[in-house]
Amino acid sequence: MSIRVRFAPSPTGPLHIGATRTALFNYLFAKKHGGKFVLRIEDTDLERSDSKFEKDILEGLQWLEIEWDEGPAYATTNYQLPTTNYGPYRQSERTASYKKYIEKLLAEGKAFYCFHSEKELEEEKEKLMEAKRPVLHLCEYRTMDPEEADILKEAKPNCIIRFKTPAGRKVVFKDLIRGEVSFESDLLGDFSVAKNLETPLYNFAVVVDDHEMTISHVIRGEDHISNTPKQLLLIEALGFKKTEYAHLPLILGPDRSKLSKRHGVTSVNEYRNMGYLPETMFNFMALLGWNPGDDNEIFSREELIKKFSLEKVQKSGAVFDLQKLDWMNGEYIRKLSPEKLYDRTKKFFPENYTLYPKPYTLKVIVLEQSRLKKLSEIGERTEYFFRPPEYEKELLRWKDTDYEEIAASLDVSIKLLSNLVRFNLNSIEKMFLEEAEKKGDRGKLLWPLRVALSGKKASPGPFEIMEILGKEESLKRLEMAKTTLRGDAA
């Protein structure tokens, strides 16, 4: 069987982590089996759909290199999509197909016009809820003669089209993750399929699209399980070939409720802006609900494609662990060469970093690389390399030392540095450590020295900082620290 899967987001909001995980699992499944990954934009909700959200979706997928084999053309697409007979790939451009199949159902008496007003339907819903009965609509118009319906349409043009759900049926399907799942048709009601001949609703449009694009497997979130029996009934009524279904577990927040904005950032492109690497996000999301069967957690794209299988997707929800994401991002950052890290951190550096030669900035990057969890941290961590530090003089104090002792300590550092002939890391470290040992407490010399150089409570060691700043700039900052101690402008 030819494997064809699809990711079908609605452009009604930014690309969400949950939706991206769905796209990723479809992509991995297709690549594992040599199949096709299709991107389809479900934009039939014209009021809420927005081109800016479609842009966000496409850019997010491209950033993660989840490349679609077929899908909508897009200005920033950096790979050539093949010409196929399955498009167009935006539902708003597929009206003719929907109309054809809606007319087929109406002509065969499998669908009908419902003339109930929104107010009537809402009142019915409230009564059912009060009576604690299933909220479904068994429509009295399902048996109306089509000719009578055509006449009534003139008086009530705001009618909708419903599917005539067969009574007393058990709708059964085998979920590739959850096993056999069944629903009673009597609990579905006569569900709506279109607002009119030109405006299909979700369940109907999905069925038509999957058929015409010859989708073999529908891999989606478990929140779509309740839609599956309706879609299966439509598939049967239209005479389409059944697809295979696999419903992925929900992604949960730390409190084990469905991941949402109240848990923090949920948009993929926000994680990009926060300084997470695409390799990290790809790897991390692959493990949200899927386990390769071993203790490894760092995988290349090729390894994930080779190992992935729906059989190892879990049924229970997957917790989005931000601490684990930070750890994994740090691991990936450490794998980058200084040159690649330089390219990826450009937008996060202080604005004036371009005034400094590239070799200087590369040294700064190497110094901080092992400490980074996110690319965005590079700016705050390294700002003192690109501008003189500002700090309160109290920060120079080591334990209970007074300002006179601090000033004396700074004078010693200035003298040592001035007399240093060979300016390299080993020479700097050897000279200052020998002097620090004489004091019996290294902190008396090294703490004021490090603060004077960086202006920070926590930073790399003073020797590494001095080697990058250079002898002249280091001496200048030590003199500035003495000025700060005297209470003058820093």
- Check whether 261 is labelled as a binding-site residue: yes
What is the CATH architecture of 1-75+249-335? 3-Layer(aba) Sandwich (3.40)
Separation between Cα atoms, residue 3 and residue 419, nearest integer Å: 73
What is the CATH architecture of 393-485? Orthogonal Bundle (1.10)
Instruction: Judge whether 1-75+249-335 and 94-248 match in fold.
Output: yes
Ordered by start, the domain boundaries in the chain are 1-75+249-335, 94-248, 338-382, 393-485
CA count, 13 A, side-chain hemisphere, 180: 4
Contacts 24+ apart (CB under 8 A), 257-263: 258/317, 259/17, 259/18, 259/320, 263/320
Separation between Cα atoms, residue 297 and residue 286, nearest integer Å: 10
Predicted pLDDT of residue 490? 38
Predicted pLDDT of residue 313? 96
- Amino acid, res. 75: A
Separation between Cα atoms, residue 9 and residue 17, nearest integer Å: 12
Active site residues: 261
Predicted pLDDT of residue 81? 61
- Amino acid, res. 106: L
**Which residues, other chains included, contact 124 with Cβ-Cβ below 8 Å and sequence gap of 6+?**
116, 137
Predicted pLDDT of residue 147? 86
Strand partners, 244: 217
* Backbone torsions φ then ψ of 113, nearest 5 degrees: -90, 130
Is the pTM higher than 0.85? yes
3-class secondary-structure state, position 416: helix
Nearest residue to 88 via CA among 102, 80, 98, 77: 98
Predicted pLDDT of residue 367? 96
Where do we find the tokens 């005297």? 486
Predicted pLDDT of residue 489? 41
Given its phi and psi angles, is residue 168 left (phi above 0), alpha (psi -120 to 50 degrees) or beta?
Answer: left
For the chain, residues with pLDDT lower than 70 are 1, 74-84, 488-490
Whether domain 94-248 has CATH 3.40.50.620: the reply is yes
Separation between Cα atoms, residue 473 and residue 481, nearest integer Å: 12
The stretches of 287-357 forming alpha helices (DSSP H) are 301-307, 322-335, 338-345
Predicted pLDDT of residue 75? 47
